[in-house]
């Protein structure tokens, strides 16, 4: 080999080594990302929105020292919200696009069914993902991230490890069944597809109680036999361990952590009333217990933040806090607080003129922040959620955005942040530039389903609401009508017809597609 050729090879090896090191260093410099997904947390429950019955200092810190989105939309309830988040698609699509499996099958594990039996039954009913379909976890994986999912199952009401892996999670720990995750003392959970027994927890239904208080329910809640470990504590420990095990300095890779917590979804149950609430004279025992679930969530947000500080990576970690849908009442008491479709006097709402709000329902917390409606409704209180983005020194502290964003925008927003191409086939649009002082592309409208029917909200604040039961369309201008009490459909017929045409198209020419995803029983 001549000298010139040797020299060329030597230079190539040097450049290759430098390039490899630079690439690795660049990957490490990508921000870690932690997505905290609260369950049924109305934005009125958070201190930054004026909650007076309890404090949420750790969640408030993310809002006050990060960016707060005033017009953030989730979905009607748990399963479609998670499907929208993971797929980047809204939940009004018809057909089998949002098929979800009904819950309950995992209660039969090791009784009448094996794990393989259950997986086979679910896979026979749940449609497999298309080969070219891309999910949220995959976006991070393709950008060189280690991905982890912790807590409540991330798709439908029953899932399998194969489906979790297909959605892009390198590691997953938690529940595989929606029914079981509404109890808080699981006898078993799952870790990467393996059943993990929880010593001391003996209730096959995870000690789930009713959503209505009574002397019997109170006795059941506080009978601690077979309730050794609360699920949130188990899941938190696994998540903090994952962070340690996947420290970027160890793996040379950033991590994307998705935490769909159970809290504060009911039925109400906590291992103890939070010390801050014990002596609050304004709250009943039932309300103190519910508020303690919110306090536990806030405390755990603080634990995550402290862990990132301890690991010395808080400066290079994005924390996102949001919720799946609007507020729900898990502390109804006769004559004080109503649930479902009636006011405190027991009078039924017609959901055209009369509707749920905190005043008529007697909600001392004002969990829906003064809006009409709650979980499952297409009033704003059913779908408007808290959304805070925090990145120390990178996202301007104290920022408040009036840009309308939705949970199905998160996939493409993540893609832009981690440096992968936008997925044009998705409904969602990235709002990453809004986080860093730029001008993002604005989506003209957002759509969402509900048990009442679909709704559409435009970027400039017009809202078309359809009530399937009465075949009624209502039009509101939200900037001037926060509570949705002034129906303008007759005053603006052209606007109404224009928005109806859009909503009809988005629902695949079928209004009934806007009442939620298809559920199939296994």
Give the residue among 162, 181, 60, 154 at the shortest CA–CA distance from 115.
Answer: 162
Describe the chain by its helix, strand, coil percentages, rounded to 5. Answer: 35, 15, 50
Quote the CA–CA distance of 466 and 404 in Å, as a whole number.
20
CATH of 29-445, one of 3.30.70.100, 3.40.50.1000, 3.30.530.20, 3.40.720.10: 3.40.720.10
Buried b / exposed e over 165-188, threshold 16 CB at 10 Å, is ebbbbbbbbbbbbbbbbbbbbbbb
pLDDT of 420:
96
Which residue carries 């809640």 as its tokens? 221
Residue 330 corresponds to which tokens in the numbers above? Answer: 């898990």
What is the model's pLDDT at position 117? 94
CA distance 420 to 33: 15
CA 309 to chain centre: 24
pLDDT along the chain (522 residues), means of 10: 43 36 51 98 97 98 98 94 94 72 87 94 84 95 98 88 96 94 96 97 94 94 98 98 98 98 97 98 98 98 98 98 98 95 96 97 98 97 98 95 96 97 96 93 93 96 97 98 98 98 92 77 66
For 177-222, strand residue ranges (E) read: 188-191, 194-197
Return the domain boundaries, the chain: 29-445
Determine the Cα–Cα distance for residues 397 and 403; give it in Å rounded to an integer.
17
Of 35, 33, 34, 56, the closest CA to residue 45 belongs to 56
Q: Identify the pLDDT of residue 517.
A: 73
Tokens of 305: 């933040």
For residue 17, the model assigns a pLDDT of: 39
Predicted pLDDT of residue 98: 64
146 close to 246: Cβ distance less than 8 angstroms? yes
pLDDT given at position 519 = 67
Residue 100: name the closest of 118, 71, 122 by CA: 122
Q: How many angstroms separate the Cα of 76 from the Cα of each of 24, 289, 378, 447, 469?
A: 42, 25, 7, 11, 17
Whole-angstrom distance, CA of residue 516 vs CA of residue 267: 22
Using the CB atoms, write b or e for 31-70: b if 16+ within 10 Å: bbbbbbbbbbbbbbbbbbbebebbbbebbbbbbebbbbbe
For residue 399, say if its preceding peptide bond is cis, omega within 30 degrees of 0.
Answer: no
Phi/psi of residue 115, each to 5°?
-60, -40
Mapping DSSP to helix (H, G, I), strand (E, B) and coil, where does residue 317 land? strand
Distance CA 479, CA 71 (A): 11
Sign of CA dihedral 378, 462, 429, 43: negative
- Identify the pLDDT of residue 520: 64
Report the distance separating Cα 5 and Cα 403, nearest Å.
59
Cα 466 to Cα 234: distance, rounded to the nearest angstrom? 42
């Amino acid at each position: 080999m001549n000298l010139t050729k040797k020299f060329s090879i030597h230079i190539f090896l040097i450049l290759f080594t430098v390039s490899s090191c630079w690439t690795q260093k660049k990957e490490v410099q990508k921000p870690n990302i932690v997505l905290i997904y609260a369950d049924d947390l109305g934005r009125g429950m958070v201190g930054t929105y004026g909650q007076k019955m309890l404090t949420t200092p750790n969640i408030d810190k993310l809002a006050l020292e990060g960016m707060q989105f005033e017009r953030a939309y989730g979905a009607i309830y748990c399963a479609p919200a998670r499907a929208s988040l993971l797929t980047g698609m809204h939940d009004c699509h018809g057909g089998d696009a949002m098929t979800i499996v009904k819950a309950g099958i995992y209660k039969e594990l090791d009784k009448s069914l094996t794990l393989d039996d259950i997986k086979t039954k679910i896979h026979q009913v749940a449609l497999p993902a298309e080969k070219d379909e891309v999910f949220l976890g995959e976006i991070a994986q393709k950008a060189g991230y280690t991905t982890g999912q912790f807590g409540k199952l991330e798709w439908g009401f029953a899932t399998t490890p194969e489906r979790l892996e297909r959605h892009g999670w390198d590691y997953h720990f938690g529940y595989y069944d929606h029914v079981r995750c509404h109890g808080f003392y699981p006898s078993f959970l799952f870790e990467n597809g393996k059943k993990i027994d929880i010593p001391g927890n003996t209730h096959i239904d995870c000690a789930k109680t009713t959503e209505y208080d009574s002397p019997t329910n109170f006795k059941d809640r506080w009978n601690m036999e077979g309730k050794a470990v609360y699920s949130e504590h188990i899941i938190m420990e696994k998540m903090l361990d994952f962070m340690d095990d996947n420290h970027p300095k160890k793996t040379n890779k950033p991590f994307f952590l998705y935490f769909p917590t159970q809290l504060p979804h009911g039925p109400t149950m906590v291992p103890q009333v939070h010390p801050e609430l014990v002596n609050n004279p304004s709250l009943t025992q039932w309300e103190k217990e519910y508020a303690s679930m919110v306090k536990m969530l806030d405390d755990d947000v603080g634990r995550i933040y402290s862990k990132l500080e301890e690991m010395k990576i808080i400066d290079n970690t994005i924390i996102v806090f949001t919720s799946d849908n609007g507020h729900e009442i898990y502390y109804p008491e006769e004559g004080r607080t109503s649930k479902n479709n009636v006011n405190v006097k027991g009078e039924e709402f017609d959901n055209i003129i009369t509707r749920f709000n905190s005043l008529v329902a007697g909600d001392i917390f004002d969990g829906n922040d003064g809006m009409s409606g709650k979980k499952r409704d297409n009033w704003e209180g059913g779908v408007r959620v808290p959304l805070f983005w925090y990145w120390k020194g990178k996202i301007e502290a104290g920022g408040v955005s009036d840009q309308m964003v939705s949970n199905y925008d998160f996939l493409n927003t993540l893609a832009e942040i981690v440096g992968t191409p936008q997925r044009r086939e998705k409904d969602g649009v990235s709002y990453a530039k809004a986080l860093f002082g730029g001008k993002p592309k604005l989506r003209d409208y957002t759509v969402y389903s509900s048990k009442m029917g679909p709704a559409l909200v435009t970027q400039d604040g017009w809202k078309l609401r359809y009530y399937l039961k009465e075949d009624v369309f209502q039009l509101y201008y939200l900037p001037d009508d926060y509570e949705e009490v002034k129906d303008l459909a007759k005053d603006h017929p052209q606007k109404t017809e224009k928005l109806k045409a859009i909503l009809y198209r988005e629902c695949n020419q079928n209004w009934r597609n806007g009442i939620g995803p298809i559920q199939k029983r296994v």
